[in-house]
Structure formats: structure tokens, C-alpha cells
Structure 1
Amino acid sequence: MDLSPARTRARRLPLPLTAVVCAAALVGGCSAGGDPAGPALSTQAAAPLAANDLQDDYQAVIKEVLPSVVQIDAASSLGSGVVYDDKGHVVTNAHVVGEEKTFKVTAATGGQPVEARLVSSYPEQDLAVIRLTTVPQGLRAARFGDSAAVDMGQIVLAMGSPLGLSGSVTQGIVSATGRTVSEGRTGGGTGATIGNMVQTSAAINPGNSGGALLNLDSEVIGIPTLAATDPALGGGSAPGIGFAIPASMVRTVADQIIKDGKVTDSGRAALNITGRTVLDDDYNPAGVAVVEAPADGAAGKAGLKPGDVITRFGDTDITTITSLSEALASRRPGDVVTTVYVRGTESHKTDITLGEM
């Protein structure tokens, strides 16, 4: 797909609203004979104890991770970043760095800003790595968790610099996993379609992008990237719907950028085409027209040519370039997918062995 980098301060997209509720129960003890051995701990008395324990957990995480979070100032944007290693590499979002090459970086714990330079940006996954020219004392690398262990209902904290308020923390839960979300290009988006994202109720505001989504073991489980808007409110904020790139993808991209200066193995499936959305006679989206299909690419090898219109990909009806990108996001290079396309007035079906982005 044809995806290009862009600049922005924050990303927002329209999505339906959801809500998750979680509850806990208290159990009291009884004597062997079934009679109370003494007054059981009342709900009123136990609740403050439980709240204090959770508060202690929050404060422990903040104390542990705050030295691993930074604020990133570019010429016309502001965001957050997470210290990746002890050599001064910091991972953030591609839309935070935009087209800039140098940045001012400030530790969430305070101190003077230091200069950083871009190592590489990977807009297709909305990730980038920058490197500090000097590593301030007290700054330390974050620990990244296991994406496979992230589950709905898990308590999380989001740490970053919303609206320039460095070192801010919000709390919530994991609302869902495995979300596929597409960024628009308007307003500075990269146009990326990102799979397997973590949805959270923790507040994600402009400036949080590139920061840390944390579990209560002080591990980074995701990089906050997107916040939802509510179409019913005219594009206004939809509280409690944010998205983070999973830690596994962050490590995959960052490790390659640090080692090779670029992403050499994306692990993302591709048709290897340039396409555009086409409309039917009623001006409704009706498929993706192939603009370019190199002969050595996945679609080209399967016989697709410029002018063909893709209308179905596997079990998914394709109406727009976004729907095709989202269908690809759940696939892997080498997968064989039955694809329906229209050439002229006739419909055709072919099996495509997917390539790599």
C-alpha cells in the first residue's frame, strides 16, 4: 500500500463507544462450627484497605517508570517517548517526529532539555526511534512486557506529556485487545493501518502519543498512539477510548532500527500494489482500483493488472482502501488469500500469496 509519513500533535479517529465494568468481592472467615469466631471485617472497613493497597501499587509503578519517560519537542509538534536502552535510544510515534531530524528531549523527572537525533522512522507502523546525544543522569531504560499476557480488565496506567504537562499519569483498564485501527492522513496522520492494538480506558490526550502504557508490574505493554472521537459529537472527544501499539511490535521495529538503521523485516503482509478507492454509479465506495501492480509483487504474480478493481479479500468485502488495509493487517506474509476482482465488466477470482510490506 502507498503510505507516507506526516506530522501531527495527536491522532484521533471515529469509532463506536464501548464500556467495560469490573467488580471485586470480599470473603469473610467463619469458625469450624459455622458460628462467627468474631466480627467479620466489614465492607466499609475493608474498602479503604483495598484502596490503599491499589494506591501503593500505582505509586510504586510511577516511581519505577517515571525515569524512563520523556517529553519530545519538535519544531511544530510535541509528544512523549520511552527510553529503550542505556545507549540513549528512545522509541516514540512516527507522527510525533514527523519530518524532523533533531529534537529537544526532557526527562519526566525534570532537568534541562537535551538534544536528540532521528535514527529512523517507520510510518507504516507509526513508530520511530531517536537517540539522545547525551544521556541525563537518572534516566533509565524501561522494561517491556509480554503482549500475549495482556488481557481485558487488566489495570493499566498511561504515562506521558498530555498538552505539554510532563510526567502526567492516567489510569484505566484494558478494554479490548487485537483491535485493527487506521489513521487518517488529514490533520497530520501517517495513514497507517495498525493491527493487534490494545484498547484502553486510560485517558489518551494530545501529547500522550509515544508515551508508555504500563501494567502494575511496571512493564510497558504498549505505546499510546490514538484517541477516538465521537461522530455524534461532531468529532469531539470520545472519553475512555484510546489505543496503544503492542509491546511486541514496538520491540520488533525498534530492535531492527537500532541494529540496521531501518526496518528490514516488517512481518506485515502486503499485496504490493498502489490502489485507490472507486465509487459506483450512486457515488458509494465500491472497491479498490489497482493503480500499479509490479510483476514481481504478490498481486502482479497472481495476474492482477492496473485497472482491476478488488471487491473481496478472503471473507471480507472490500469497498475502500482502508477496508483492504485492515483486512491485510490480520494476515502474515506467505498467507494465501482468495481474492475477487473485476476486470472490465467481468468478475474474476484468484489465489494470492501475500508478500511483505
Structure 2
Amino acid sequence: MLPGAAVALTGLLASGCTSGSGSTAASGSASPSGSASRTPSAAPSGSGTDLQSDYQRVIRNVLPSVVQITSGDSLGSGIVYDAKGDIVTNAHVVGTAQSFTVTLANSTTPLAATLVGSYPDSDLAVIRLSSPPGSLKPASFGDSSKVEVGQITLAMGSPLGLASSVTQGIVSATGRTVTEPGGNGSPGATIGNMVQTSAAINPGNSGGALVNLDSKVIGINTLAAVDQELNGSAAPGIGFAIPSATITSIADQLIKDGKVTNSGRAALGVTARTYFDSNFQPAGAVIVSVTQGGAAQAAGLQPGDVITKLGDTDITSLNSLTTALAALTPGSQVAVTYSRNGQSQTAQVTLGTLPTS
């Protein structure tokens, strides 16, 4: 996931917000961070006072749109999506709950909310306030395709139960493909095109906003890295946010239909499992079945074929196949290298769309 770095990923769920302890379960919220969508020439070039004024302006504009979400003894964050009371957050923040308590940034009065829909494959969900106040301020979402490395970001949310907290950093990388920690024996979601940020992200931040200096939300902060060599301690300055393009696509579908009808995620059209060689080492992904009329079947792939490469990416397990597919888009063509009866072959496959049910 991060070559050469001994890091893993942890969800950002604050469990028991008054205790200040963070759980490593795959649920939580991330604080909003801002990333400047300006070109380098348009970035603040004056005194430190000018940049400070920019920060304060963004905070005034966006922080009222960031909320705290409580379900049982778990706490996360969310972003006001529209004036009807829809709030977008991470699917791992809502979990299996159907009802929630929401606290607005400018209020101490808890508000009731219920689940509109959840899509764990992209770790996104929408909840709705039962009685939205007239003062509700929806956030403005930016174009995440224009986010560039080095742009300034602000992260807003409720880390460790500290409501309306703000941290700052930069966009460290774009286009990251990240697999979340799983739970109950199941693998976590693999999400492509994530924004990596150096803005501090802590338990309770999941579902919060990553914001640029134009006061636009460019992502939902979702995960932070941990250093396996330091007993799972947080790896400072390595956090990940789901991009705004994914947020708005999934949220719009959940609000309209209560479910996702177009995932926007690439699919090979196979059911597969990890293949182990004669030394019992993972050596590919063996196809168990192919989807009728799917991408793999159209390209001539069959059950029993062992996929060993997708494009230029080596495939050694089912997880590596899933991760490689998450970085691709439906309709794109990719070379699939596979072994059949001990013979290596290659097929050109036009990828389909991941089913939503």
C-alpha cells in the first residue's frame, strides 16, 4: 500500500468520547482538511498574516457545516450535504445503526437523525436530521480532480471528542489506493483515488471534511496510518481522505434511491480466491466462477485460470487483485496475464462495473 514503509491503516472511531481513547476498528471519522485548489502562482504570497487570514476565513466558512455524530458509545464526524438535513459521513461511522444523535458546530443541542443509506464498498453513508433547523449550512464541494500535491489543507472534525477541531497540512499525494482494516473476519473496503494529507487525523475524525483554501470540501477524512514497528503507534502526517467526486456521486444516489445503483468502480466479473503454489505460498488469484456476460467471460477467461498480473501489477492474492482493480475505471482496457494448465497466457479485458448488490 505504501511501498517501503512499515505502516498499516487504522479506522478513526472514537469510542467513549469523554475518555479520549481511539479504537482501531474500521469505523470512525476524520477531520476536514483544506487543500488549496489555486495554482502555485495564485497561492498566498504575502506575509504570514495574509495566510493566517486565509485560514481563519476558511474556518468561518466551513466549520459550521461539520457536525459530530454519536451512535451508542461511538463518536464520529459528518458534513452537512444539503438544506434538507442530509449529512454525509463514513459507512464505518454509522456501522449497523439506524438512528443517531447529531450536534451542530454552533450548538450544544443534540438533534435526532436516521439512516438514509450506506455503501460500505466505498465507505460512505448518508444520515438525515429528523427536524433540520433553518440555520443549517450545507458545505460546498470542490473538484477533487484538480487537487495537487503541495496544496494547503485544513482538517475539521471531532478528534477524541473535541468538537469543531481544526488541523492543517498539505496534500501529500493523490490517487492512493488504500485497503481499510476489516472486522469480524471480513476484509475492509478497498478504495481508489484517495487523497493523502499531512493534516493531523485522529480517532473521532472519520466523516469530517478535508478542505482547501477556497473553502471547498475536497474529501472526507477516513483513515490514518500506524507504524507497525512502533507497536501500532500513529504514523504522524499520513492520513487518507475519500475524494469529493466519489462523495457526491455516492451521496446523490443514496439520497435519491436509498441505495447505490452505479458504483463507478471497475470489475473483472469473476469470483476468485487466493491461489497457493506447491510451497504453499500465495502466487495469484484463481478464478472460481465468471459472471455471465461479464468482462472476464467476454475475454475468454475461465474458472481455474490463475491470474498473475493485471496490467503491470503482479497479482499474488485475492487482496492484491482487488487493490489493483480499485485503481482502475470501468470501461478501461487492461492486459490480464493468467496461467491455464501450466501455460502463461494474456488476454485484453475491457473492465465492467462493480455490481452494487
- TM bucket normalised to smaller: 0.7 to 0.9
Instruction: Give the equivalent residue in structure 2 for 1:330.
Output: 327
Instruction: Say if 1:157 and 1:202, in contact at 8 Å, map to a contact too.
Output: yes
Q: Say which is worse superposed, 122-131 or 187-196, in terms of deviation.
A: 187-196
Instruction: Give the equivalent residue in structure 2 for 1:136.
Output: 133
- Three-state SS of the structure 2 residue aligned to 1:144 is coil
Instruction: Give the equivalent residue in structure 2 for 1:172.
Output: 169
Instruction: Give the equivalent residue in structure 2 for 1:115.
Output: 112
Instruction: Give the equivalent residue in structure 2 for 1:159.
Output: 156
1:88 to 2:89 alignment:
no
Unaligned runs of 5+ in 1: 1-6, 14-46
1:193 to 2:184 alignment:
no
Instruction: Give the equivalent residue in structure 2 for 1:72.
Output: 69
Deviation at 1:12, TM superposition (A): 8.4
1:183 to 2:214 alignment:
no
Letter in 1 for 2:139: A
Letter in 1 for 2:67: V
Q: Deviations over 1:212-258 (max 9, x none)?
A: 01111211111001101112213221000001111111111111111
- Three-state SS of the structure 2 residue aligned to 1:143 is coil
Identify the match of residue 306 of structure 1 among 285, 303, 307.
303
Structure 1-normalised TM-score?
0.83
Q: How far apart, CA to CA, are the structure 2 residues paired with 1:250 and 1:320? A: 29
Deviation at 1:136, TM superposition (A): 2.9
Instruction: Say if 1:12 and 1:227, in contact at 8 Å, map to a contact too.
Output: no
Unaligned runs of 5+ in 2: 1-10, 14-22, 27-44
Q: Deviations over 1:136-194 (max 9, x none)?
A: 34321001112122111111110011111111111111111111111131489862211
Deviation at 1:268, TM superposition (A): 1.2
Instruction: Give the equivalent residue in structure 1 for 2:232.
Output: 235
Identify the match of residue 287 of structure 2 among 274, 286, 290.
290
Q: How far apart, CA to CA, are the structure 2 residues paired with 1:189 and 1:65? A: 36
Instruction: Give the equivalent residue in structure 1 for 2:351.
Output: 354
Instruction: Give the equivalent residue in structure 1 for 2:3.
Output: none
Instruction: Say if 1:123 and 1:190, in contact at 8 Å, map to a contact too.
Output: no
Change (3 A) 1:76 1:354: farther
Aligned pairs, how many? 317
Structure 2-normalised TM-score?
0.83
Instruction: Say if 2:93 and 2:206, in contact at 8 Å, map to a contact too.
Output: yes
Change (3 A) 1:8 1:53: closer
Change (3 A) 1:138 1:260: same
Instruction: Give the equivalent residue in structure 2 for 1:340.
Output: 337
Identity, in percent, stands at 60
Q: How far apart, CA to CA, are the structure 2 residues paired with 1:284 and 1:50? A: 58
Q: Say which is worse superposed, 142-151 or 70-79, in terms of deviation.
A: 70-79
Deviation at 1:77, TM superposition (A): 2.7
Q: How far apart, CA to CA, are the structure 1 residues paired with 2:245 and 2:337? A: 33
Instruction: Say if 1:126 and 1:190, in contact at 8 Å, map to a contact too.
Output: no
Instruction: Say if 1:117 and 1:132, in contact at 8 Å, map to a contact too.
Output: yes
1:277 to 2:274 alignment:
yes
The residue correspondences of 1:56-67 to structure 2 (distance < 5 A) are: 56-67=53-64
